[in-house]
Each structure stands twice: as structure tokens, then as C-alpha cells.
Structure 1
Amino acid sequence: MVRWRRHLHQYPELSFREKETSLWIAKRLEELGCDVRQNVGGHGLIVTIKGELPGPVVALRADIDGLPIQDEKECEYASKVPGIMHACGHDGHTAALLAVADFYNANRGQLAGERRLLFQPAEEVTPGGAVEMIKDGALDGVDVIYGVHLWTPLPYGSAASRPGPFMSSADEFVIDIEGKGGHGGLPHGAIDAIVVGSALVQAVQSIVSRNVNPLHPAVVTIGSFQAGTTNNVIAERCQLKGTVRAFDERTRYMIHDRLESLVRHTCEMYGAKHTYHMRVGYPPVVNDGTEAERFFEIARPIFGDEGVLEADAITVAEDFSYYLNEKPGCFMFVGAGNPEVGAVYSHHHPKFDMDERAMLNSARLLVGMAEGYANNYSIAAK
């Protein structure tokens, strides 16, 4: 796994461009003796391993894409591709699932049912790769699906998940305001786009505090405000960019509607024109309650009682949500942080790295979840 991960780390590819990565993974899988279906939903791959005993179809997923970040680590396996690196652990996810493929392929005689391994492209960029994988049959006949994210905020030797809403949706908006430019000393003859934009920034703060149910967490952030050119000219144009995060669809789309209404009414009040665009991203990751309980049962023998944690809900997004909208399953974090090996940087940081031993924990957890489900499935069938 370390060898595989370090190769992938040196040769990352961006979302929707993972051609060479996909070919490399396919070659490794064929060397392991696996049957591989390529070009699924783009550069995705599916490995189907059928056991000799009857049982369920369990899907396990890893993502394969990198990020447009310059690798600043000083190590032998640093990225060789300028401006691109695996800054989120997808190389480790891929290496762990390759090990799972090797394990299952070597133990077909004891395997009940089918294990379907999904190597998914384009997790990092909307609309994401999961949707196209699903359209291309990735979940056809699947009973349950599991996924793991190696997570450096958690220490090596731990794991975390939670039932219900786990990770938020993530939508992005752009607001362009057009006022009327003029002389800074003659404001009465102009419509100041900065004033309009500032009023809108203040108004938007009321959405979460006054429109969202306090028991339903949500975030509305304006992260960019661009306007003006100099000190004595009233700005004619202003652009705001921001994001919306929520853990349930009703809250999510209520915020969309309220934001659009505030933009319209604020601009009308000042006599300004506007355009408003909301880019809908991934839905929330919502774990099945039964499968989340299975995580706590399966993870304890691997990580020990103190190493198994109930995660807080987190306002970052993952397109694993699309799989969970179709099938029951569970998304889980496996601790990969360790100051002793320099694994102290956050995900998407230029110096991101991980404790590579966490890959084995990830593989063990995925296999444990799959076999735990299969054992209960067999008992229920009897």
C-alpha cells in the first residue's frame, strides 16, 4: 500500500482528467488477478469479485483525483507534477482499496455474495464523479455501500462516524450588482454599488439567525467582495461570492430562496440592477442509522474502545452523498494524523501528508463493515 500510494502521490491528476491514474490502477488490478471494468462514468473503474457462497452485493468506494495545489513537502515521494498534488488523501484511499481487492480476490472461496469496488474520479469538483458512476450502473443490484476518508485531524489509531447527517451540502453563489458610477464628491447623482453590496452583506447575516430553525445547523458565508478602482470614484459595479452549507434539503433550499429574495429586494430598494447565480453542489452526507451502528460495532476490535469516536457533524462536502441517497450505507473517518511523521497539516494544505499506517486501518475497516453486513444478511436469510 505504501508503494502504491507513493507512486500515485508523485503523479497526481486533476478531477475529470485522471486518465493515466485510471490506467495505472487498472494495470495493478489486473496484476492482482481482478476483472476490471474501465471508463465507468468517465475515468472510473469497477472491480466485481464474486464469492462462491450466496450473499449480498456490498460496494466499497475510493476516490482517485488530486487537487490544483503545489506540493511543498520535502520528501522523496513529493508530487512531480507542477501545481498538482494529492492534498486530500485520495492516493491513500486508492491504495487501501487496491489492498482490499487483493484480499477478496485471494479469498473468493470463503466469500459470501459479491464485493463491488468503485474507484471513482472527480470527487473534488462539482458535479463530481459519483453521479456519472451511478448512471453507468455502479450501484445496480447493490445492497449497501461503505466509504472511508483518511482524516489527519484525527490521530492515527482512531476512527469516527455518526448516524444521520454527517457532512453538509455545499453550494456556491455569485451576485453581480450594477449601479451608476459617478464622482466621489457628487454621490447624489450616482447609485453606489459598494453601498448596495454592503447592505446585502448585512442583510444576508439574518438568514441563519432569523430564518433557519436553530436546531438545523447551516452556514451562509460571503467570502469575496470586489468593487471599486480608486478613492474618488463611486463604484458602478460590485461582485459578491459566497457559499451555503446545510445538513438537510429543506433548510438548504429555503436558504436559496431567502438569499435570492434578499438580493432582489435590496437591489430594488437602491435602484440597482443585479444578476444572481447559485451553483448547486453536493447534497448532505446522511449515514443510515443501522449502518452507523454497525461502524461502532466493527471498529472497536480494530481501534479499541477509546479509539472509536462519534464524530461531530462537519460543514465540508463529499459526493459520497449521492451513493447514500440511493442505497443504505455509512461514510467513516479513519485517523491519519501524527506529528512524528509530519502529518499535522490540514486537508488541501500544500504540505499535507498522512501516517501511512492508517491505510491498513482503512482497509481493515472496509472489509470489517462488508463482512459484518454479509454475516447479518446470511443470518436474516436463514
Structure 2
Amino acid sequence: MINSEVAALEAELIAFRRDLHSHPELGYAEHRTTGKIIDALSAAGLQPRRLPSGTGVLCDIVPGGDDGGTDRPMIGLRADIDALPIADGKDVPYRSVNPGVCHACGHDVHTTVLLGTGLLFARRPDLLTKGVRLIFQPAEEANPGGAPMTIEAGALDGLDEVYALHCDPRTEVGRIALRTGPITSATDRILVRLSGAGGHTSRPHLTVDLVGALAQIAVEAPMLLSRRIDPRGGSSLVWGRINAGTAANAIPEFGELEGTVRSLQVSGWTDAQRQLPSLIAQIAEPFGATADVTVTPGVPPTVNHADGVRRLTEAASAVLGRDAVGVTEQSLGGEDFSWMLQQVPGAMARLGVRPADADPAEVFDIHQPRFDPDERAISAGVSVFGRLCSGDLRPGAPDTIA
């Protein structure tokens, strides 16, 4: 039943996704995207409301159109709506028209899946056995991300559970992948600013060898961190930018090193934050350099709850097939849906977007300019969300819709 209803929406949803893909917007600036979501939901007879920040949308759908009462189960479904500061590298009609901005992480698909779920229940409210809140969250790619702000705006108020899907090019379209426990990792940013007396490269003994100090920190800090904290915390420090100097024969006075710290466990996350400033200062000290270390906390690991994984598994098995659910490994990527799962139980699943029998050379990972998911994933995602909201939410209860 749900699959046939979703099939009737497929062409409309693909067109919506391609429009979003052509007009990507960065975090906290998703004004056009927010307007498109509100227009589509309003046209379907729903009552979306814009978040106080100006971007992002909440929309409640309740059986019978009433307030549901205090005992009515309420389920939240979340999608992130922002894009990345990456140039679109695809040659397609729906290529980004905004220079240097692209939906290279699949948030256009996430948004369209959530919109499609709203349109499904606007057409068929009789399928609902619980209230549903659509959460279109801004700025997932930003730091700090938009989840805490969305939570503060009331996104989780009254929810019994909350769920999300995320595009995964490793998983074949028409499938999802799950795991109980951490599915993503904690992610922080680290910025090291070094300073010291500069001068001529012919007289390094009269200066602070700033470039040498930066190089030493870049090489030694990741290794030493792995010896200073419990390895079961699974912390990884990787640098992404190093910058110092303007001339080959001049030792600079200032330099910077920037990267990310990713941790599999909360224990490793907090320990790395505590250890890094003193560790880096110790490496810089023999050079006579002054180190100013800023660790900007990002997000904790996204920890899936066992009951949430079970219900997503049951929903996907019902609409995609018994063999459509696989197991995924924990990613070192960060995801601010983690803040929501710290307050309300639920789960995130990997949504398969890799075409069947695809040439590996033509399958691009997320955050790459040529990433372009198989659009059949949209219908698969809507069907899973639709089924999830069509059964009894209470733990241990059977589904009620065939």
C-alpha cells in the first residue's frame, strides 16, 4: 500500500530534488530552500512553521487533524537542508547554479525524502497511527551545527522517538544499513597558531624556526595523542591546512596549522580536548615558539538506540524486502543528529544511493564534487519513513499496516 502511494509521488519528488540541487545554499543561509519546503507542504494542506532563526522548518501531522491528546505517540523525522562550499563537478542539467556551492553530501535527497513523507501523509492521513513531526534542520555542515538551535526551538518537544536517514554510496540503492550503538564519531576542529621571532634563513640561531616547529607538530602530535589517551577511545588527529611565510629566505613570525580530531567514543572525545593544548605546547617549546591552541568542540558520536534500530529494520524489511537491511561500520565522520539522539531515543540509518552493478570508477563518495546519488533512493527513503510511522510506536508492539 505504502509503496504504491510513494510511486505516485516519485516524479514530483525527483523534480523537487533536482531544483534543490540546482540551487544549493550554505548553512544558516538556506532561505530559498526553506521557502520551497514551506510552499510544498502548504500546498498539500499542511501547516509548516519556519524556525526562529529564519531557515529550517517544523511541521506536525497528527491522525485525524486533532492535537492528538497527551497520550498520543509522536515520532520525529529529521533531514538536514544545507549544502557544502564545494564546486559542483557534474555535467548534468541540474548542476548547481551557485558558484562554489554544491549538495555534495546528499542533503537534497534527505530533504526530499522528508518532504515526500509529509506529502504521503497529507494525501493519506488514514495511514498514520501516531503523530509525526517533520524536522527540516539547517546548518548540519556548520560548526557549530544547527541541531542545538533546532532543539532549542522545540523540535524535540513531545517526541517519543526521532529518526534520520543519510545517503551512503557504499550501500546499493533500495537498501539501508544500520548498527546499534555509535554509527558516527565525535568531531572537533583544532587550530594551532605559532608565533616567534622571525628573520633571515641564513641566521636561524637568531630566530624561532617557526616552519620547523609547525612541521614537527604536524608529524608528532597525531602519534603522541595516540599514546596519551586510551586507545579504546579511538581518537584520530588529521591536519587539513598548514600556512606560514611568504618568502623562501625569510623565517616567518607567525604560522597556522588546522585540522580535525575524530573520536569513536565520548571518552576519547573529551580526553583529546583536554590533552591537545598541553601536548602541542610541549612540542613547540624546544623551538622557543609560543603556541596558541584552540579546540572547537563539534559533535559527539551519533549513538543509535537498540529499539530504534529494530523498528527501522522492521520498517525497511516490510517495504524494501527482507534482505534489504545490512550492517554498516562506524564512520569517523561527524553528524549533529547526535545531539537529538542524546535527548530522545531513535536511530539513523544509511540510505543506499549506489546504482546496482555500478562501475566503481563512477561511484563518488560524499563530499566529492561529482557525487550524484541514484534518485531511486528517494522513493525507498519515503517508503521506509512511511512504514515507520504507520505502525505502533510503543516498544514490542506489532506493526498495524500491511
Q: Same fold (TM over 0.5)?
A: yes
Distance 1:136-1:206 versus aligned 2 partners, 3 A rule: same
Note the C-alpha offset of 1:358.
Answer: 0.6
**1:76-126 C-alpha deviation (Å, 9 max, x unpaired):** 222222222222211111221121112222332342231111111111112
Q: 2:192 aligns with which of 146, 150, 175?
A: 175
Hey, what does 2:54 align to over in structure 1?
42
Q: How does 1:229-240 map to 2 (within 5 A)?
A: 229-240=246-257
Note the C-alpha offset of 1:308.
Answer: 1.7
Note the C-alpha offset of 1:305.
Answer: 4.4
For the residue of structure 1 that corresponds to 2:231, the secondary structure is: coil
Q: Does residue 356 of structure 1 match 2:356?
A: no
Note the C-alpha offset of 1:379.
Answer: 7.1
Identical positions, percent: 33
Note the C-alpha offset of 1:349.
Answer: 1.8
Hey, what does 1:367 align to over in structure 2?
386
Distance 1:205-1:346 versus aligned 2 partners, 3 A rule: same
**1:268-289 C-alpha deviation (Å, 9 max, x unpaired):** 3332222111111122111112
Query: What letter corresponds to residue 226 of structure 1 in structure 2?
Result: N
- Superposition TM-score, scaled by structure 1 size: 0.92
**1:63-86 C-alpha deviation (Å, 9 max, x unpaired):** 111222222322222222222222
Query: What letter corresponds to residue 352 of structure 1 in structure 2?
Result: F
For the residue of structure 2 that corresponds to 1:326, the secondary structure is: coil
- Superposition TM-score, scaled by structure 2 size: 0.88
Of residues 41-50 and 312-321 in structure 1, the stretch that sits farther from structure 2 once superposed is: 41-50
Contact 1:56–1:377 (Cα < 8 Å) also in 2? no
Distance 2:277 2:316 in 1: 44
Q: Does residue 2 of structure 1 match 2:14?
A: yes
Q: 2:233 aligns with which of 203, 216, 219?
A: 216
Distance 2:17 2:130 in 1: 29
Query: What letter corresponds to residue 376 of structure 2 in structure 1?
Result: R
Distance 1:260 1:334 in 2: 38
Note the C-alpha offset of 1:327.
Answer: 0.4
**1:23-60 C-alpha deviation (Å, 9 max, x unpaired):** 11111101111111123443111111111376310000
For the residue of structure 1 that corresponds to 2:276, the secondary structure is: helix
For the residue of structure 2 that corresponds to 1:259, the secondary structure is: helix
Q: How does 1:341-352 map to 2 (within 5 A)?
A: 344-352=363-371
Hey, what does 1:78 align to over in structure 2?
95
Distance 1:232 1:79 in 2: 43
Q: Does residue 314 of structure 1 match 2:331?
A: yes
Q: How does 1:162-311 map to 2 (within 5 A)?
A: 162-311=179-328
Distance 2:360 2:259 in 1: 36
Contact 2:22–2:94 (Cα < 8 Å) also in 1? yes
For the residue of structure 1 that corresponds to 2:342, the secondary structure is: helix
Note the C-alpha offset of 1:372.
Answer: 4.2
Contact 1:42–1:121 (Cα < 8 Å) also in 2? no
How many residue pairs match? The answer is 380
Distance 1:251 1:240 in 2: 22
Contact 1:200–1:262 (Cα < 8 Å) also in 2? no
Distance 1:335 1:95 in 2: 15
For the residue of structure 1 that corresponds to 2:121, the secondary structure is: helix
Hey, what does 1:31 align to over in structure 2?
43
Contact 1:49–1:114 (Cα < 8 Å) also in 2? yes
Distance 1:82-1:274 versus aligned 2 partners, 3 A rule: same
Distance 2:349 2:41 in 1: 24
Contact 2:162–2:344 (Cα < 8 Å) also in 1? yes
Hey, what does 2:123 align to over in structure 1?
106
Q: Does residue 332 of structure 1 match 2:334?
A: no
Query: What letter corresponds to residue 164 of structure 1 in structure 2?
Result: G
Of residues 125-134 and 287-296 in structure 1, the stretch that sits farther from structure 2 once superposed is: 287-296
